[in-house]
Structure 1
Amino acid sequence: MNESTTGAQAPSSWNLPNALTVLRILLVPVFLVLLLQQGGGDPVLRTWAFAVFAGAMVTDWIDGTLARRWDIITDFGKIADPIADKALMASALIGLWIVGTLPLWVPLVILIREFGITVLRFVIIRWVVLPASKGGKLKTVLQTVAIGMMLLWVPVLLWLPHAVAIGWTVVAWIILTAAIVVTLVTGIDYCVKSYRLVREAKAA
């Protein structure tokens, strides 16, 4: 979500988009405390955990939009924004595994891909900058929706009719499966693109 800023003077890091990024980082422990309380079985706390997660993801969209619109993309934002995103996503996936909502392989597959691509970006940055793709954005949307539905699974199970809970569970797993597939496909695509771009950069 960050792009190079044009202009003679770099913008100050003290701005609203960066403040929202910091807020998102600070919300991570709050989210985890709410999710992990009472083994994740309290529907009220799970609902609050969902609310914090959703609010944090909204700040992700807002800070990127404002930074681009106001042309105040900073070096701090370039570093802190992906850290905030991955910290929130990792805490949600690992937290949902701890409380028994997700099997261990789900966070393992997604997080190995996420952090693997991050490492890849740092390795090849001396030659090329690996741009975000439309598939990567779709992956984020699918992951966010799936995690949100999984967070609300306990309240839906306890508060709504059984048929609704079954339907909710099926849809949540369909979206999560789609997210995992897109996560893996885009990860492979990033690796192929990075190899080609580095090879072309070296040849040039």
Structure 2
Amino acid sequence: MTTETPVKTSNWNVPNALTTLRIVMVPFFGYALLHDGGDSIGWRITAYVLFALAMVTDKIDGDLARKHNLVTDFGKIADPIADKAITGMAFIGLSIVGSQSGEAWYVAGGEIWWWVTILVLVREWSVTLLRLSIMKDVVIPAAQLGKIKTTAQGVALGLLSLPLVADDNAWGDTGRVIFYVSQVILAVAVGLTLWSGYEFFRDAFRQKRAARA
């Protein structure tokens, strides 16, 4: 009786290419966001387009990998790194813009308080590092709350990348309304980020204890 050896999925596939593209886009997005201290309307719009493309490719590569059974070890590692890199760059970039403006966040347009950025990044990278460290022993599927968090983060950061309340007031009252709505969405996203992080650590340690028992 012969047993068939499972065929290992090649790392050379479209989902992994899109993930790699997302990582490559990070410095370009950061450059566009921070060009002229974040005061260039054209570059801020470019930053928004790059961020939106990154979020779209994140959705597409995940769907393709699951639909066509193209999940690879490279993808499992690179995909969360790509996600955290682009959102991390957005948080850091928007905080830098705020620091350079010398204005309050609700005046300068688009920035995020540094304490919010630090809190979110510590949570995101600690969860990512723990997930990667226990990947072989414990598999924790993405929770629905985490998916909602990711969506809320993406919407808020994308919109805040735009020059919604720029000095020339080109966006008018519409831009200001969108800006405040984005800040509310961001606040919700931060709350979901912290809570989903707590749930992840709780479930991870529960599964670790069960596996040892």
TM-score (norm 2): 0.86
| Count of matched residue pairs | 195
Indicate how the Cα distance of structure 1 residues 185 and 150 shifts in structure 2: closer, same or farther if over 3 A, else same. same
What residue is the counterpart of 1:55 in the other structure? 53
Q: Which protein has greater RCO, CA pairs closer than 8 Å, 6+ apart?
A: 1
Query: Does residue 90 of structure 2 align to residue 92 of structure 1?
Result: yes
What residue is the counterpart of 2:185 in the other structure? 175
Report 1:30-45 matches (<5 A): 30-45=28-43
- For 1:200, the aligned partner's letter is A
Confirm or deny: 8 A CA contact 2:19 2:57 kept in the other structure. Answer: yes
Alpha-carbon distance in structure 2 between the residues aligned to 1:73 and 1:176: 31
Among residues 89, 102, 111, which one is paired with 2:121 in the alignment? 111
Alpha-carbon distance in structure 2 between the residues aligned to 1:66 and 1:23: 15
Deviation per residue, 1:99-118 (Å, 9 max, x gap): 11111012111111101112
Further displaced range: 114-123 or 18-27: 114-123
Runs of 5+ unmatched residues, structure 2: 99-110
What residue is the counterpart of 1:149 in the other structure? 159
What residue is the counterpart of 2:199 in the other structure? 189
Alpha-carbon distance in structure 2 between the residues aligned to 1:202 and 1:126: 14
- Give the Å deviation of 1:125: 3.9
In the TM superposition, structure 1's runs of 4+ consecutive aligned residues that sit over 4 Å from their partners are none
Alpha-carbon distance in structure 2 between the residues aligned to 1:194 and 1:9: 30
Deviation per residue, 1:153-182 (Å, 9 max, x gap): x24543222x22331222111100000010
- Give the Å deviation of 1:98: 0.8
- For 2:155, the aligned partner's letter is V
Confirm or deny: 8 A CA contact 1:35 1:95 kept in the other structure. Answer: yes
- For 1:86, the aligned partner's letter is K
Runs of 5+ unmatched residues, structure 1: 1-6
Deviation per residue, 1:23-69 (Å, 9 max, x gap): 11111111111111100011111001000010011111111111111
What residue is the counterpart of 2:147 in the other structure? 137
- Give the Å deviation of 1:126: 5.5
Identity %: 45
Confirm or deny: 8 A CA contact 1:43 1:155 kept in the other structure. Answer: no
- For 2:62, the aligned partner's letter is G
Among residues 53, 77, 89, which one is paired with 1:79 in the alignment? 77
TM-score (norm 1): 0.90
**CA root-mean-square deviation:** 1.5
